[in-house]
Amino acid sequence: MPIITYVEALRQALAEEMARDDRVFLLGEDIGIYGGAFKVTEGLLDRFGPDRVIDSPLSEAAIVGAAIGAAYMGMRPVVEMQFIDFIAGAFDMLTNFAAKSRYRSGVGVPLVVRGPCGGGVSGGPFHSGNPEASFLNTPGLKIVEPATAYDAKGLLKAAIRDDDPVLFFEHKYLYRRVKDEVPDADYVVPLGRASVRREGRDASVVTFGAMVQHVLDAATELARDGIEIEVLDLRTLAPLDRETVLTSVAKTSRILVVHEAPLTGGIGGELAAIVADEGFELLDAPVKRLASLDTPVPYSPPLEQAFMPNAAKVAAAVRELVEY
């Protein structure tokens, strides 16, 4: 199997789905001639033409609104947010129209809204967000964030084939740093299923996106001291794979949730509640969370590193958890 980057895997997924289904088209700012801010759509305009790779005006609400209309007409739009922070401009369209459509009228909206999220690259407060928690409280939206190139391709293909709206968050730190063996043959990674990236016995660490790499680095460090953690990559944030999380907690009796978004109101609180409600008797220690500070993402690289979780902070949190 060829080894390709995360960004190449995304581009392959888009090209394969556009070739497989002529209802699939792309819409977004600078995705055509320029190939997108991070070149995810590079070359697709030449291959599929301007009717299927459409450069849009700078209006996220208009982009998503137009895509919802196209989906009602039988198309399968894939929208790019230049940076996922800008999805806030389309919040009304996504939460009040796309997400509720099937409940209101029985008509699904097969729409994917994808874009680069996350920090660690000195992008500052307007280009480094992780807004998943802003949408978790909206029934009708699926939310995906892959950590590997293999999953990026398989999950994006599954998202495009889904009959309801999917938010697809791509951590920009992974675009060209992560490489995997990725099949040329058609495959999908099913939505809603977590993956165990490393087996362990002493604590479960649940995470997703770029944090998977930091947690795996921490696992290597902790193993030198005889602490073996089980690393779960959620892959899909809505719906959550409760079964895999609870199965792991039953094995280790301890759980740490790690995410890059700020702590307050983050997905870690929801996972802590699930474990408290459905797995309290399995625990030998309180559920622990590790997340970014409750501030906007700093521009300054030293401040940004202080703001975010990293391998050292994960290792310290695990040591505290296993010593409880």
Can you count the helices (H) and strands (E) in the chain?
A: 12, 14
Query: What is the pairing mode between strands 76-80 and 112-117?
Result: parallel
Residue 254 contacts residue 230 (beta carbons within 8 Å): no
For the chain, the helix, strand and coil percentages under 3-state DSSP, each to the nearest 5: 40, 20, 40
Residues 283, 308: Cα–Cα separation, whole Å: 27
Q: For residue 171, which phi and psi values (nearest 5 degrees)?
A: -70, 120
Which single residue is written with the structure tokens 């599929």?
A: 48
| Collapsed DSSP state (helix, strand, coil) of residue 174 | helix
Whose structure tokens read 């060209």?
176
**Strands 142-144 and 236-238, how do they pair?**
antiparallel
Q: Is 171 a catalytic residue?
A: no
Residue 235, SS3 per DSSP: coil
Residues 98 and 64 sit within 8 Å (Cβ to Cβ): yes
Q: d(Cα 67, Cα 98) in Å, to the nearest integer?
A: 10
How remote is the C-alpha of 198 from its chain's centroid?
19
Q: Which helix (H) or strand (E) holds 49?
A: none
Identity of the residue numbered 175: Y
| CB proximity list for 139: less than 8 A, separation 6 or greater | 99, 103
Q: Which of 127, 171, 214, 259 does the annotation list as catalytic?
A: 127
Question: Which of these, 204, 253, 74, 52, lies nearest to 43 by C-alpha position?
Answer: 52
What residues are annotated to the active site?
Answer: 127
